[in-house]
């Protein structure tokens, strides 16, 4: 089975509790959303077909135990669950970055899903599949990209609502939108409200500010 691949590269994981670790990235092509702050629009269409074996051969060259499947939106492609399963069976720890609009339960439960919940500032918050909140494993992570106070209040209210999975103790990430939300201001809001969330900055953009990529 072929997948359309935008790029495969080796870098530092920048957006999750795994931030700072060397990581092999597989960026798949295509996305069903158009977020206002998107920095990977080059992945909407550009890419080449590759077999799962060809992808894994390239990943193996990096000799890195951590692999992230990202996009675009990886779950748009039918072959993505098979790719993830084969990477896991090969002994890799696999992260999946997904935009939260598609059913995450198709992926192997050993995979660590880093799932966005889109806030109003993305202009795509009506696409969230909130049924995914009932499909999370304890090792999964939820990420809110915060562009301002309205997004912060949206995320806070959702976390405190009856719809939030009360028994789920995974990591909740609050990520300030690059060049839009001052991280220190977001830190103050989190502390004022005593939220049990992790503030995370986009580490790869601090390391390499002129280079795009990431969500
Ligand atoms: S930020 Fe992610 S989900 Fe949003 S349009 Fe860009 S690639 Fe798609």
- 103: CATH: 3.20.20.70
Partners of 198 in beta bridges: 173
Give the mutation target among 6, 27, 42, 72 for probing the ligand 1 site: most ligand atoms within 8 A of CB: 72
Closest atom of ligand 1 to 116 CA is 3
Nearest to 149 by CA among 211, 200, 193: 193
Is 213 part of any domain?
no
Q: How far apart are CA 120 and CA 113, in angstroms?
A: 22
User: What's residue 204's pLDDT?
Assistant: 85
Is 86 part of any domain?
yes
- Domain extent for 128: 2-207
Q: How far apart are CA 205 and CA 191, in angstroms?
A: 24
The pairing of beta strand 22-28 with beta strand 48-51: unpaired
Is 124 part of any domain?
yes
Is 214 part of any domain?
no
Domains of the chain: total: 1
Kindly state the DSSP code that residue 115 receives in the 8-state scheme.
E
User: What's residue 209's pLDDT?
Assistant: 82
Distance 17 CA to ligand 1 centre (A): 20
**What is the secondary structure of 54-94 as a DSSP string?**
HHHHHHHTT--SEEEEESS-GGGSTTHHHHHHHHHHTT-EE
Partners of 8 in beta bridges: 26
| Nearest residue by C-alpha to atom 3 in ligand 1 | 99
Tokens of 186: 């977001």
Is 215 part of any domain?
no
User: What's residue 214's pLDDT?
Assistant: 42
Q: Which residues of the chain have pLDDT under 50?
A: 214-215
Is 199 part of any domain?
yes
Return the SS3 of 153: helix
Q: How far apart are CA 168 and CA 214, in angstroms?
A: 26
Nearest to 171 by CA among 133, 150, 205, 140: 140
| Nearest residue by C-alpha to atom 7 in ligand 1 | 72
Nearest to 131 by CA among 152, 99, 102: 102
| Nearest residue by C-alpha to atom 2 in ligand 1 | 215
The answer to whether the beta carbons of residues 82 and 1 sit under 8 Å apart is yes
Q: How far apart are CA 184 and CA 182, in angstroms?
A: 6
Q: Give residue for tokens 């590759």.
A: 50
Q: Give residue for tokens 């915060």.
A: 146
User: What's residue 45's pLDDT?
Assistant: 96
Conformational region of residue 211, where left means phi above 0, alpha means psi within -120 to 50, and beta covers everything else:
beta
Pocket of ligand 1 (CB under 6 A): 31, 33-35, 38, 40, 71-73, 99, 215
Distance 169 CA to ligand 1 centre (A): 26
User: What's residue 211's pLDDT?
Assistant: 63
């Amino acid at each position: 089975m072929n997948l359309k691949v935008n790029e495969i590269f080796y870098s530092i994981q920048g957006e999750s509790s795994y931030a700072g670790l060397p990581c092999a990235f597989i960026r798949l092509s295509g996305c069903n959303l158009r977020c206002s702050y998107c920095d990977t629009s080059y992945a909407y269409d550009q890419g080449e077909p590759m077999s799962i074996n060809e992808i894994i051969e390239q990943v193996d060259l990096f000799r890195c135990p951590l692999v992230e499947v990202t996009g675009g939106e990886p779950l748009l492609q039918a072959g993505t669950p098979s790719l993830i399963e084969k990477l896991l069976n090969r002994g890799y720890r696999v992260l999946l970055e997904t935009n939260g609009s598609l059913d995450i339960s198709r992926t192997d439960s050993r995979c660590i899903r880093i799932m966005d919940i889109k806030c109003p500032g993305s202009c795509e918050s009506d696409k969230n599949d909130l049924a995914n909140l009932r499909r999370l494993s304890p090792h999964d992570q939820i990420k809110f990209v915060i562009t301002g106070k309205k997004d912060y209040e949206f995320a806070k209210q959702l976390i405190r609502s009856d719809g939030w999975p009360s028994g789920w103790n995974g990591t909740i990430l609050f990520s300030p939108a690059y060049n839009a939300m001052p991280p220190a201001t977001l830190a103050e809001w989190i502390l004022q409200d005593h939220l049990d969330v992790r503030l995370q900055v986009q580490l790869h953009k601090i390391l390499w500010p002129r280079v795009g990529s990431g969500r």
